[in-house]
């Protein structure tokens, strides 16, 4: 009887021993399935806009035309998969586009006043650069224009930007401060149009940004304006709340304050923000 019990006990122990590895194998199989499912879910999870790149549209002030083309190329090179398209116009025109719901991701204006008027449409703005005005005199400066008061000469054909345009507002500011009455032959929608009039000989002089006039070569003569008679133009940049590429747009605006972007801006004549 004892021998029979011993044989039964031994059989039970052996059966239990055999079941343990089978149970362990079952757990390993379930773990593998969970790991496979997790890996599959991770692979199918959508990447962030910045990670996979995006097509960005940036509305920018006319005076940024040349430098932003260079900045855009540099940004795309260091951010593969991201394409940046710029739309340049006077800041007041850009503001109107934003208010009308134009599809875009970021905005850079040539003054803080315009940007401040768009707080309902933009996120927080950061000033990325500054600029100053100069007198752009016609080729060879035949009228020997040396200072602001020379622009009051009624024999001169002077062209200015319209007062609602940032550069036009800055121009009025510095002329009023010197108590100078200048009657322009035309008021243009942006700084590029003012400069073009002088380059083509349709005007004898105009007030433009230093960075724009510097691009004209010998087509115009740059007449510096002393700091105490000048105005400082600030360039704020912000993402638009309506952007469909919010993360990528924010990355671009942040990059504009980076050492790489600042070098491009300052090499073009812009001042540090």
Q: What is the pTM of this model?
A: 0.79
pLDDT of residue 38: 40
Out of 22-31, 67-76, 114-123, 141-150, least confident range: 22-31
pLDDT surpasses 70 at 264? yes
pLDDT of residue 52: 59
Please name the residue that has the structure tokens 């997790």.
38
Interatomic CA distance for residues 256 and 56, integer angstroms? 14
Per-residue pLDDT, averaged over 214-231, amounts to 95
CATH of domain 132-229: 3.40.190.10
> Which uninterrupted H or E stretch holds 136?
strand 126-138
pLDDT surpasses 60 at 5? no
User: What share of the chain in percent tops pLDDT 90?
Assistant: 79
pLDDT of residue 23: 40
50-130+234-267 is a CATH 3.40.190.10 domain: yes
Query: Do 50-130+234-267 and 132-229 fold alike per CATH?
Result: yes
Interatomic CA distance for residues 206 and 245, integer angstroms? 39
pLDDT of residue 31: 44
Interatomic CA distance for residues 191 and 208, integer angstroms? 6
pLDDT of residue 19: 39
pLDDT of residue 102: 95
* CA nearest to 103, candidates 154, 59, 40, 167: 59
Give the start-to-end residue ranges of the domains of the chain.
50-130+234-267, 132-229
The Cα angle at residue 127 between residues 217 and 107, in degrees rounded to 5: 80
């Amino acid at each position: 009887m004892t021998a029979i019990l011993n044989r039964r006990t031994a059989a039970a122990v052996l059966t239990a021993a055999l079941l343990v590895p089978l149970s362990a194998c079952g757990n390993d199989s379930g773990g593998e399935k969970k790991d496979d499912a997790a890996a599959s879910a991770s692979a199918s999870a959508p990447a962030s806009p910045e990670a996979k790149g995006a097509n960005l549209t940036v509305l920018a002030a006319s005076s940024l035309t040349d430098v932003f083309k260079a900045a855009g190329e540099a940004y795309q090179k260091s951010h593969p998969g991201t394409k940046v398209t710029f739309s340049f116009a006077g800041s007041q025109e850009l503001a109107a586009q934003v208010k009308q719901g134009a599809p875009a991701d970021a905005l850079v204006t040539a003054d803080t006043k315009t940007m401040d008027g768009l707080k309902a449409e933009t996120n927080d703005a950061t000033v990325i650069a500054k600029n100053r005005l100069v007198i752009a005199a016609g080729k060879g400066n035949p009228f020997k224009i040396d200072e602001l008061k020379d622009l009051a000469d009624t024999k001169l054909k002077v062209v200015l930007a319209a007062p609602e345009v940032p550069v036009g507002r800055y121009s009025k500011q510095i002329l009023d401060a010197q108590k100078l009455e200048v009657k322009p032959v035309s008021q243009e929608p942006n700084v590029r149009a003012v400069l073009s009039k002088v380059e083509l000989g349709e005007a004898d002089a105009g007030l433009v940004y230093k960075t724009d006039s510097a691009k004209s070569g010998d087509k115009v003569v740059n007449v510096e304006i002393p700091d105490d008679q000048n105005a400082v133009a600030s360039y704020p940049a912000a993402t638009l709340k309506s952007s469909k590429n919010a993360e990528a747009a924010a990355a671009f605006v942040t990059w504009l304050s980076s050492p790489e972007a600042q070098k491009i801006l300052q090499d073009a004549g812009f001042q540090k923000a």
